Structure 1
Amino acid sequence: MDLRNWINKSLPNVIDSLEDSLNKNYGANTTEELNLATRSAVYDVLDELLATLFPGLQTYRPIPKNEMNLFIGDRLRSATLKLGKQVEQAIKYRCAQERCDDCDCEKSALETTIYVISSLPDLHKTLVSDVQAAYDGDPAAKSVDEIIMSYPCVEAIATYRIAHLLYEKSVAIIPRIMTERAHSRTGIDIHPGAQIGPGFFIDHGTGVVIGETAVIGKNVRLYQGVTLGALSFPKDKDGKLIKNLRRHPKIEDNVIIYSEATILGNITVGANSVIGGNVFVSNDVPPNSKIYNRQPSPLNDGGLGI
């Protein structure tokens, strides 16, 4: 039997079996059920928003200064219309999941979309403080333009800040699609539910994880491999995880956390503290603390070279 014969004779059975499994379980985005924007559609909106926040630096071509208003206007009009439709679909999905009968999904979508787009000027000011923190905190940085165009933390933090606006309004799925793209592209995993103040800098970035209920104050700096995670997951009487509880650390203002440090649980790291590399922390840290592992001692091998 050649491949063409197999396709004609046997492939229909595979197709029917796969369709049956999808209908009985999950894994398909159908117009009758999920009816959500695809990942590529969400990425398209995200790219347009990033382009308006850093015109000519994050995406698209360099912009003539006398065309700036036109460029921003075109991108925002397009992004606003697309986002409005996606948000409405996501809100309808959430209402169906929660079996809500009296929600005005169209009104909620309109209010949410206006809130997100109207927040962009303030969001940009916060991003400026993030970029400045990167420039001030990295001796290798030659200019803020270099940081915006090349540092992975800028894409990850900017994406997080956009997604967080949607998360605040309980928009389903879209915020995670946004931040998980940044995660896959930069290695920086920031949950859109985290609360992060201005002047935030992640140096190098690879392997950083910031959980959903983490709270980070102003002027905080993290290095690669830092985890702000949960220590344990409480369960109900049926053994299912209890969600929506605070389970991640609070990092107060002006804290520095060096590479591969792991900070777990509903604890507080006090302001102006320094957490050294490879430290494991699961208890509160008072303000103005320095937490380091003991320095390794030189090995005295008696000159044997062992």
Structure 2
Amino acid sequence: MLSPTETILKNVDILSQHSTEEYKYIPRHDKPLPSIEKTAEIVELIKSIIFPGFFGDSIANQKTLKYHIGMNTEKLYSLLTEQIYNGICFSSQYAVGKDIKSKASELALIFIDKIPEIKRLLCTDVKATFDRDPSAKSYAEVIFSYPTIKALINHRVAHELLLLGVPTIPRIISELAHSETGIDIHPAAKIGEYFSIDHGTGVVIGETCIIGNHVRLYQGVTLGAKSILADKAHAKDIPRHPILEDNVTIYSNSTVLGRIVIGHNTVIGGNVWLTTPLPPYSNILQQKAVEGLFTDGLGI
């Protein structure tokens, strides 16, 4: 039997030598890699900039507000530039160089210019969440504790970075929120103003979804795609998720699949399975249960 040292060294040697087959799944480590931990820190900084005092350092004095926001924005610029650079290097076939560093810095600054608009959108989400939940005691309570706001902060940040062409980082940001809240929103999904999710757990919003203004979802709602048997690379270019127009409400555990349009001012009740479009002002409820007898799996 090998000694502990020999056993460790043997396995370190094996694990350090990836086979050709493994390289399909595990990239070579000759370029910078994004950091999940630093990406999470970026999100926390953005939260402290948009909602100072609610996240990050507690702001007790209005006179220090500008100082805190300025300090966090400078730190954000540095960290974001680094992670955008790493993301581009990780996802690109180009050689690591000054051009990529310059591009990363430029994208970080463009994103910082987007933060006031992200804040405006999130404030509409806070208002929508508060207005539609009788149990909410204040806007502050919504910002502090509601999973919807946590998920939407990440989504609106990830979406803007994706629009700028930043690779990898947006998906990491969306999955951080998914892990924490149970709300799964693809960073490419387009979501309008005054969006709210009641409770939130189990909500799924797919990549090519387009959601209008004043839309409300409940827990367990899926805005997904039908099963696609075509070539995956081709299927990714096809809009395959629903479009929800303004003032749509979808109650818990309903599933809406495919590139269908749900017209404005529509209400979809709980536990509905929907794959066909709906005109405006529709009101869809769960159908009565259909009973049937199945022998040896017949009909299933």
Contact 1:230 1:266 in 2 (8 A): yes
CA distance in 1, matches of 2:17, 2:102: 37
Unaligned runs of 5+ in 2: 291-300
Q: Residue 32 of structure 1: which of 21, 30, 35 is its match?
A: 30
Q: Residue 255 of structure 1: which of 245, 248, 252 is its match?
A: 248
CA distance in 2, matches of 1:284, 1:222: 18
Matched, 1:178 2:173: yes
Q: Residue 206 of structure 1: which of 201, 208, 222 is its match?
A: 201
CA distance in 2, matches of 1:100, 1:293: 56
Q: Residue 153 of structure 1: which of 118, 142, 148 is its match?
A: 148
Q: Residue 191 of structure 1: which of 181, 186, 192 is its match?
A: 186
- Amino-acid identity (%): 39
What secondary structure is seen at the aligned counterpart in 2 of 1:183?
Answer: helix
1:239-284, CA deviations, whole angstroms, 9 ceiling, x for partnerless residues?
A: 7663232111001101001000100011110100001100011111
TM-aligned CA deviation for residue 58 of structure 1:
2.8
Matched, 1:215 2:210: yes
1:191-224, CA deviations, whole angstroms, 9 ceiling, x for partnerless residues?
A: 1000000100011000000011101000100000
Contact 1:58 1:148 in 2 (8 A): no
- Map 1:1-306 → 2, pairs under 5 A: 6-21=3-18, 25-26=22-23, 32-33=30-31, 35-96=32-93, 104-236=99-231, 242-294=235-287
CA distance 1:6–1:241, shift in 2 (3 Å):
farther
Query: After the TM superposition, which of the residue ranges 226-235 and 267-276 deviates more from structure 2?
Result: 226-235
Q: What is the one-letter code of the residue matched to 1:208?
A: V
CA distance in 2, matches of 1:224, 1:127: 20
Contact 2:35 2:83 in 1 (8 A): no
What secondary structure is seen at the aligned counterpart in 1 of 2:3?
Answer: helix
CA distance in 1, matches of 2:210, 2:157: 17
Query: After the TM superposition, which of the residue ranges 8-17 and 22-31 deviates more from structure 2?
Result: 22-31
Paired residues, number: 289
Contact 1:217 1:253 in 2 (8 A): yes
Q: Taking structure 1 as the reference length, what is the TM-score of the superposition?
A: 0.88
TM-aligned CA deviation for residue 106 of structure 1:
3.4
Q: What is the one-letter code of the residue matched to 2:101?
A: E
Contact 1:205 1:224 in 2 (8 A): yes
TM-aligned CA deviation for residue 62 of structure 1:
3.5
1:144-180, CA deviations, whole angstroms, 9 ceiling, x for partnerless residues?
A: 0000001001010011000111111221111111110
Contact 2:91 2:168 in 1 (8 A): no
CA distance in 2, matches of 1:65, 1:295: 58
Contact 1:29 1:36 in 2 (8 A): no
Task: Compute the RMSD of aligned alpha carbons.
Answer: 2.4
1:20-70, CA deviations, whole angstroms, 9 ceiling, x for partnerless residues?
A: 23775246676513x122100111111111111111113332442110000
TM-aligned CA deviation for residue 233 of structure 1:
2.1
What secondary structure is seen at the aligned counterpart in 2 of 1:140?
Answer: coil
TM-aligned CA deviation for residue 89 of structure 1:
2.1
Q: Which residue of 1 aligns with 2:297?
A: none
What secondary structure is seen at the aligned counterpart in 1 of 2:217?
Answer: strand
